[in-house]
Structure 1
Amino acid sequence: MTIPPTEPHPDDWNDLTRRAQSHKRWFYGKQPKPVAEVMSQLIQRRGYAQVRNLGEWNDAWLAAAGEAFAAVTEVGQLRRGVLEVVAANSLVMQELGFEKERILQELKAARPDVGLKQLRFRVGKIG
C-alpha cells in the first residue's frame, strides 16, 4: 500500500519561511565584523581620538602663541566653537587677552576644519 502524496498546508509554508528568516538572522549575526568597524569602536570607547585631537591642538597652540606662552599655558577642550586655555596665573591670562585676536586668527588658519569661534582663558593648575 502506497501513501498518496499530499500537499503541505499553507500554514506549514509560513512556518518554514519564518524559521528560515530566523535562522538567517542568527547565522549572519554570528559572522565576524570588519576590522575597520572594530577599530573605530575601540578608538571611540577608549577615547584615543580625543587624545590625538588634543595633540593637534597643542601643536597649533605652540605655533600660534609662541614658546613663552606655551610653557605657562595648557590647551583644554573645544566646546561649541570655544577653545578653553588654562593659564598658570592671572598675569599670563591678562597678556593672553592682549594677544587674543592674533592668536585666534592663527589658530583658525592652522585648524580651519574645527569651527573655532572664540578663545576663553582661565587661571588654573598647569599639569
Structure 2
Amino acid sequence: MRRIGSIVGQLISRRGYAQVSANEAIHQLMVMEVGSELGAGLQVGNLRQGVLHVYASDSVTLQELNFRKRGILKRIQQELPENKIKDLRFRIQT
C-alpha cells in the first residue's frame, strides 16, 4: 500500500501543477520589476536547461524587456533560487 503523500506528489508532477505555480511566481516578480504596464504584455513560458522563455505581446515590450534583462534575471535569481534560472530568452508571442 502506498502513502497518500506520495500519490499526491506524483499527481502534482504529472499534471504540471508545480510548474504553473512557479510560472505565476516568476510572472509576479517580473511585473514587480518592470511595472504593471509592461507586465501586462508578457507571458512566462517553459524553463529548459536553466533558460526561461518569456513571450512579449509586441516589439516595444520585447525591446524594453531586453533592456531590463539583467535586473529581471537578478531579481528572479535572488527571490527564487530553487528554480536555477541562468538566462532569460525573450520572444514575440505568435
TM range (shorter): 0.7 to 0.9
**Higher CA-based Rg:** 1
**Could you tell me how far apart the structure 1 residues matched to 2:73 and 2:22 are?**
18
Q: If the length of structure 1 is used for normalisation, what is the TM-score? A: 0.66
Partner secondary structure for residue 68 of structure 2: helix
User: How far apart are 1:45 and its partner, in Å?
Assistant: 2.2
Partner of 2:72: 103
1:28-43 residue pairs with structure 2 within 5 A? 32-43=1-12
Tell which has more relative contact order, 1 or 2 (C-alpha 8 A, sep 6+): 2
Q: If the length of structure 2 is used for normalisation, what is the TM-score? A: 0.86
Residue of structure 2 aligned with 1:69, choices 38, 41, 50: 38
Unaligned runs of 5+ in 2: none
1:106-125 residue pairs with structure 2 within 5 A? 106-125=75-94
Residue of structure 2 aligned with 1:89, choices 58, 72, 78: 58
Unaligned runs of 5+ in 1: 1-31
Aligned length in residues: 94
Partner secondary structure for residue 116 of structure 1: coil
Does 105-114 or 81-90 show the bigger shift? 105-114
Deviations 1:89-120 (A, max 9, x none): 11211121111111111111111222111111
**Could you tell me how far apart the structure 1 residues matched to 2:85 and 2:11 are?**
27
Task: Tell me which amino acid in the other structure corresponds to 2:20.
Answer: V
- Structure 1 vs Structure 2 CA RMSD: 1.5
1:19-58 residue pairs with structure 2 within 5 A? 32-58=1-27
User: How far apart are 1:44 and its partner, in Å?
Assistant: 2.0
Calculate percent identity across the aligned residue pairs.
37
Task: Tell me which amino acid in the other structure corresponds to 1:96.
Answer: L
Task: Tell me which amino acid in the other structure corresponds to 1:76.
Answer: G
After the TM superposition, which segments of 4 or more aligned residues of structure 1 sit over 6 Å from their partners?
A: none
